């Protein structure tokens, strides 16, 4: 009777009854034999117990979890798992019905718990708990002792007593007749051999019957264990297949996600390329439409906003350009290019102080940005601070010796300072680096004209006009040089420059 006893219960429904039963059982069987939590069982599972009390309250059968599903139907419900394990291992399960709770019908229980409906239940009421607890204790004791064996033993003892008494009376009678000198023959004398043989046969038959019953029980136990093992293996296989299916679904989902991302990135890159192509061709509205779609695909990319801002700037829509550059800088506060772009937009709005502030920040972020130095030099030049402008152009040229725009801008700064020789030298380097630089040719022509070398000046203006037939500055300055040398076609050049929008005197 020294088995372990496990108490299965739901804390919120019947924890108080479980606690009181624990105390009552512990007094009779010992604290080390009673368990209320599977984690505390020495063997680590319900299988380590020899009897289980299943505490059933009024809401035990239909109690629901947070999803609205009946808790007994949840594969992770610890109450159902513990009872199922006990039933599967043929552990004695005693339902304890608390305060009028009814024994669940077979049809109301999940398949693994249906054998519970055939278990003998014990009722416990709060108003006479001590009396009902005694009934529970006796039921547990019977379950641990195996009461059917006890009953057979008592019946066997009684039968043996009757036989012994009868034999004693018979013996006394026989002795009395013997002393009275009455000739008698013990009735068992002739039948002793027969009776011994009969008893031996009956004992052998009883032994064989018991052996057959033991074999039947062993076979039944083995079959049940095999069935339980097969069911456990089938459940493990089902769960393994379910996990594998979930893994495959997750893998396919991840592959589809990556494919969609790759396609979106490819589409994004194509839109940016198309927008840049259209912008370079002067189709700014088409470019902006492509950049809009790119931004819709990836609203977190700095490149999309910078590209659209540049297209707006090319359309002279500097407010929208600045708004896009603001967003690019918000997404990437360390983008020196976005800061330079915004600085150019501010400069185009004649807000040179803000422009210089952006260029300063861009240079702090990237000390090797020739673009930022050249742009800041342009801003200083527009503020007539030619010394600072030339210093920035010098740095831009040092960082990028092939920066023809920096040479051209530095030439303009030197020209404003009256240094035509240095200006012509810078224009010449700009033209060498970019032979199609129409503005550099025009500026060098002005430098030659300032030195009185009108033939060279006119040659540069001619080349500038050939490269850019709409170069109003080249027409105007060529007309002025022609006037100086008394060329009759001077007025035609000046008229053409005015036609192209230049103010030429």
- pTM check: above 0.75: no
For 378, other C-beta atoms within 10 Å of its C-beta total 24
Spell out the per-residue pLDDT of the chain, length 505, in tens. 458 999 999 988 888 899 999 999 999 999 999 998 644 555 446 878 999 999 999 999 999 989 999 999 999 999 999 999 999 999 999 999 999 999 999 999 999 999 999 999 999 999 999 999 999 999 999 988 865 323 333 333 333 333 334 444 444 443 344 334 444 444 434 444 455 577 678 778 888 888 888 888 888 888 888 989 899 999 999 999 999 989 999 988 898 888 888 888 899 999 999 999 999 999 999 999 999 999 999 999 999 999 999 999 999 999 999 999 999 999 999 999 999 999 999 999 999 999 999 999 999 999 999 999 999 999 999 999 999 999 999 999 999 999 999 999 999 999 999 999 999 999 999 999 999 999 999 999 999 999 999 999 999 999 999 999 999 999 999 999 999 999 999 999 999 999 999 898 8
Q: Domain 5-145: which CATH class? A: alpha beta
Percentages helix, strand, coil for the chain (3-state, rounded to 5) are 75, 5, 20
Q: How far apart are CA 312 and CA 238, in angstroms?
A: 62
| Residue 121 φ then ψ, to 5° | -95, 160
Residues 6+ apart with CB under 8 A from 86: 6, 8, 46, 49, 52, 93
Residue 37's pLDDT is: 66
- Chain centre to alpha carbon of residue 67: 22
């Amino acid at each position: 009777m020294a088995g372990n006893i496990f108490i299965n219960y739901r804390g919120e429904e019947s924890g108080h009854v479980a606690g009181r039963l624990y105390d009552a059982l512990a007094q009779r069987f010992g604290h080390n034999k009673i368990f209320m939590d599977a984690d505390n069982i020495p063997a680590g599972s319900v299988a380590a117990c020899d009897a289980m009390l299943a505490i059933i309250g009024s809401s035990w059968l239909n109690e629901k979890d947070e999803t609205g599903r009946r808790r007994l139907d949840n594969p992770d419900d610890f109450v159902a798992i513990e009872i199922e394990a006990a039933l599967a291992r043929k552990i004695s399960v005693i339902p304890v019905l608390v305060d009028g709770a009814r024994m669940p019908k077979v049809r109301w229980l999940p398949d693994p718990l249906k054998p519970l409906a055939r278990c003998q239940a014990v009722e416990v009421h709060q108003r006479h708990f001590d009396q009902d607890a005694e009934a529970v204790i006796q039921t547990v004791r019977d379950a641990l002792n195996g009461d059917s064996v006890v009953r057979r033993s008592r019946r066997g003892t009684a039968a043996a007593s009757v036989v012994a008494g009868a034999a004693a009376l018979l013996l006394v009678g026989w002795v009395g007749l013997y002393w009275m000198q009455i000739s008698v023959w013990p009735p068992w004398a002739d039948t002793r051999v027969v009776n011994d043989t009969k008893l031996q046969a009956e004992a052998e038959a009883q032994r064989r019957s018991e052996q057959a019953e033991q074999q039947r029980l062993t076979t039944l136990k083995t079959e049940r264990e095999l069935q339980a093992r097969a069911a456990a293996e089938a459940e493990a296989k089902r769960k393994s297949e379910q996990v594998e299916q979930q893994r495959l679904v997750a893998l396919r989902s991840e592959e589809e996600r990556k494919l969609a991302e790759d396609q979106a990135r490819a589409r994004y890159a194509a839109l940016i390329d198309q927008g840049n192509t259209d912008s370079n061709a002067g189709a700014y509205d088409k470019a902006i439409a492509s950049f809009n779609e790119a931004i819709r695909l990836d609203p977190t990319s700095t490149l999309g906003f910078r590209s659209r801002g540049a297209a707006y700037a090319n359309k002279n829509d500097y407010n929208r350009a600045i708004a896009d550059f603001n967003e690019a800088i918000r997404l990437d506060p360390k983008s020196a290019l976005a800061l330079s772009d915004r600085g150019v937009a501010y400069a185009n709005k004649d807000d040179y102080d803000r422009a210089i502030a952006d260029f300063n920040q861009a240079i702090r972020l990237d000390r090797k940005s020739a673009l930022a130095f050249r742009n800041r030099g342009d801003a200083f030049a527009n503020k007539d601070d030619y010394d600072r402008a030339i210093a920035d152009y010098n740095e831009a040229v040092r960082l990028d010796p092939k920066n023809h725009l920096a040479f051209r801008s530095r030439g303009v700064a030197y020209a404003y300072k009256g240094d035509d020789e240095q200006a012509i030298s810078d224009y010449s380097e700009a033209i060498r680096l970019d032979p199609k630089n129409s503005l550099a040719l025009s500026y060098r022509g002005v430098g030659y004209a300032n030195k009185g070398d009108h033939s060279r000046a006119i040659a540069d203006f001619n080349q500038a006009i050939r490269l850019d037939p709409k170069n109003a500055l080249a027409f105007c300055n060529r007309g002025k040089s022609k006037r100086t040398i008394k060329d009759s076609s001077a007025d035609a050049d000046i008229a053409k420059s005015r036609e192209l929008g230049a103010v030429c005197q």
